[in-house]
């Protein structure tokens, strides 16, 4: 069994809550399913869960290099120079990243509101980019965008390999 879940902001990639963050048990009441790849509590979007160990490994293990696609709202305006850097790979404190697919995109028209909303500064514009990576380091997308001078304000994973969020409202799940 494979489940796709549109994880809202503030929910951990685990069933038990911790500190100020809620757990998956508030949204998914299915025994025997486990998360296949993590998504930080302050990130939103596609989280896959399965009861199949080998499938979990294929999805989560970096050796399989399954693409992960993100919509990223950043502080500042996305430039071609920043996109070029991301496309070549950037150096983080734990070493260089693999090259990423990076493009500037329009703000998504059908995006659900985030609770709480992102912080907005009157004197600082925001813009969006789509980033596709094949790694899964801790907070990698946030660190990559910061490395090119574009701090992340909102991060939404829209796809993992062939699985995506299409037609799945926030806080809901569906068996694939």
Phi then psi for residue 130, to 5 deg, are -105, 135
pLDDT at position 68 is: 95
Burial of 42 (0-12, 13-18, 19+ CB in 10 A): middle
CA distance 66 to 156: 17
Alpha carbon distance 47, 6 (integer Å): 6
Q: Fill in the DSSP letter of residue 16.
A: S
Residue pair 102/87 in contact by the 8 Å Cβ criterion: yes
Provide Rg for the chain, Cα atoms.
16
How far is Cα 40 from Cα 26, in angstroms, rounded to an integer?
Answer: 16
The one catalytic residue in 26, 40, 106, 110 is 40
Mark whether 26 is an active-site residue. Answer: no
Question: Which regions of the chain are under pLDDT 70?
Answer: none
Give the model's pLDDT for residue 63: 78
Domains and CATH numbers, the chain: 1-64+163-176 (3.30.70.580), 67-160 (3.30.70.1560)
98 forms bridges with which residues in the sheet?
none
Q: Which pLDDT score is estimated for 94?
A: 95
Q: What is the pLDDT at residue 20?
A: 93
Question: Where do we find the tokens 């070029």?
Answer: 84
Token match 């909102």: residue? 154
């Amino acid at each position: 069994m494979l489940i796709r879940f549109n994880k809202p902001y503030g929910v951990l990639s685990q069933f038990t809550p911790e500190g100020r963050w809620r757990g998956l048990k508030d949204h998914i009441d299915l025994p025997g399913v486990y998360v296949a790849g993590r998504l930080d509590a302050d990130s939103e979007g596609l989280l896959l869960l399965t009861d199949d160990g080998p499938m979990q490994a294929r999805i989560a293990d970096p050796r399989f290099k399954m693409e992960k696609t993100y919509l990223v709202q950043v502080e500042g305006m996305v430039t071609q120079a920043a996109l070029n850097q991301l496309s070549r790979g950037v150096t983080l404190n734990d070493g260089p990243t693999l090259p990423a697919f990076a493009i500037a995109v329009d703000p998504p028209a059908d995006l659900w509101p985030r609770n709480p909303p992102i912080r907005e500064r009157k004197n600082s514009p925001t813009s969006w980019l789509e980033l596709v990576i094949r790694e899964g380091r801790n907070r990698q997308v946030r660190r990559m965008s910061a490395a090119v001078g574009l701090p992340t304000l909102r991060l939404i994973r829209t796809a993992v390999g062939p699985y995506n969020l299409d037609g799945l409202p926030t806080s809901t799940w569906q068996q694939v």
